[in-house]
Structure 1
Amino acid sequence: MSEETPRVEREGMRKGIYILPNLFTAGSLFAGFYCMVSTVNGDFRTAALWILASSIFDGLDGKVARLTGTSSKFGVEFDSLADVVSFGAAPGLLMYCWALRPFGRLGWLAGFLFLACAALRLARFNVQVDTVESKRFVGLPTPAAASMVSATVLFFYHMGWPASYNKLLILVLIYFLALLMVSNVRYNSFKDPSLIKRQPFAFLVLAVLLLIVIAAEPVTMLFTIFTCYILSGPVGFVLTYPRRRRLERAMHRAHEGMKRQQ
């Protein structure tokens, strides 16, 4: 059995790989690498923009693979490795060089924790992908965490604030994002099929108004949108806690009842 599986995988590789979705993944990896190059060169605003570009490529590769029927195990593994670079190493390095260097050891440990939690989040996602409902992510998605880092840098530049304006808040943000990635807090994946079905006309009007607001203040709205998404997980976790407790107690009583019957 152990000899047959590698042979099947090798034969699959000889047949070739799907180019289109993996090109998008390579684009995401390139954007993450160039983010680090810009960070080392001290161009933090450009680095932040490349993280957003990487997020766009990352969103496209999966959709292209599903729409064209070109999903593969190779693509899944390549995507995860690219995400570790683009949404773990790149934003961690960006935050350290931009704002966390004055904290010394506490600063670079924050950057490393962000990278480690991103890698753990991706590994857990790959293991649980077939057992967790598709409408919800368990833990903050790594692209969202990295995009929040990017939005924070761009927002500070937009407001004319230096990185030293509130270094402690930035340090807390990095630790907060890192822990959310490996938490059991659930986030909306926006993969609900009902979202693309017929909706009331008012939804279209609201969507157009939202686009106008985003076009008027793109940096501020980007920061606001990602902040709301980041906070939606903890807020939802707190609000649904009483219901979860009642469900757990009901399951416990049912389990005890089955034990007594046995």
Structure 2
Amino acid sequence: MENLDETPEIEEKRRRRGIYILPSLFTTANLFAGFYAIVQAMNGSFEFAPLAIFIAMILDALDGRIARLTHTESDFGAQYDSLVDMVSFGLAPALVMYEWALSGMGKLGWLAAFIYTAGAGLRLARFNTQVGLHDKRYFRGLPSPAAAALVVGFVWVLNANGVPGRDISIAALIITVMAGVLMVSNIRYRSFKDVDLRGRVSFMTILAVPLVFVLLFQDPPQVLFLTFFVYALSGPAAILFRWLRREEKDQAEKHHPRGR
């Protein structure tokens, strides 16, 4: 016989233990895109493998938002999303880069790919354990989707221009290791979660939207890679800027000490 005295909180907790189909479909599609990227890289199709990772990024951005909009968030969904992100943004980009450029470098190549994969795993684990403990306006370390976009964007833009990966393996190794290290760093990156998409904006801002689409469709590989390359450098650049400002302030105080 059912217990009719259960509180709404208990009923809500039991309900949230289930699996919601809509956000899980997007998360599974994300997993498929990551798996597809690995298969295409193994087949040498480097024009499709990076594209699959970027599609996975879009799906990853959608599943959480859909869960919040439809009130279908659950512990299962959060854990499933994290595991899928490890495949799509941790394992898949490393294997794509390895197959394209690093496989000819011997141990150095697969160690660079592993550094990236380990960095992604540590980044995701740290994010999961520190949810709600930091300022939501910033990420601590380069987000794994952005790191994945940096790595596969490098593959995509050079492959589209006919540059063999083996001819640029040193640069590929640097990009891969840099992305892995930035993920586990303490450098802050803007999350843009404080941007109010429902707020009013100027007419010129609306005109900028079609301009972005025009630039994107002119040369998607180059535009996407440059976008995430600039984003990856924005964190260290902000630290350098603050350090220079502090040095200038210290020098000014030395030359013009404040009166007591």
Q: Give TM-score, length-normalised by structure 1.
A: 0.84
In 2, distance between residues paired with 1:64 and 1:194? 17
In 1, distance between residues paired with 2:206 and 2:246? 35
Q: Give TM-score, length-normalised by structure 2.
A: 0.85
Q: Which residue of 1 aligns with 2:127?
A: 125
Q: Which residue of 2 aligns with 1:209?
A: 211
In 1, distance between residues paired with 2:136 and 2:193? 7
Structure 1 residue 193, shift from structure 2 partner? 3.7
Gaps of 5+ in 2: 1-9, 248-260
Deviations 1:181-228 (A, max 9, x none): 000111111211435421122212222222212222222211211111
Structure 1 residue 231, shift from structure 2 partner? 1.0
Deviations 1:37-66 (A, max 9, x none): 111122122111111111111111111011
1:238 to 229, 237, 240: 240
Task: Give the AA of the match of 2:209.
Answer: A
User: Going by fraction, where is helix more abundant, 1 or 2?
Assistant: 1
Q: Which residue of 1 aligns with 2:114?
A: 112
Deviations 1:130-149 (A, max 9, x none): 10111111100101111112
Gaps of 5+ in 1: 1-7, 246-262
Q: Which residue of 2 aligns with 1:259?
A: none
2:179 to 177, 180, 184: 177
Deviations 1:93-126 (A, max 9, x none): 1111110012111100111111111010000001
1:218 aligns with 2:220: yes
Q: Which residue of 2 aligns with 1:65?
A: 67
Q: Which residue of 2 aligns with 1:38?
A: 40
Q: Which residue of 2 aligns with 1:257?
A: none
Look up the SS of the partner of 1:44 in the other structure.
Answer: coil
Quick check: 2:86–2:120 contact (8 Å CA) kept in 1? yes
In 1, distance between residues paired with 2:203 and 2:181? 40
Identity percentage of aligned residues: 46
Task: Give the AA of the match of 1:36.
Answer: I
**Over aligned residues, Cα RMSD in angstroms?**
2.1
Q: Which residue of 2 aligns with 1:167?
A: 169
Distance change (3 Å), C-alpha of 1:35 and 1:244: farther
Q: Which residue of 1 aligns with 2:199?
A: 197
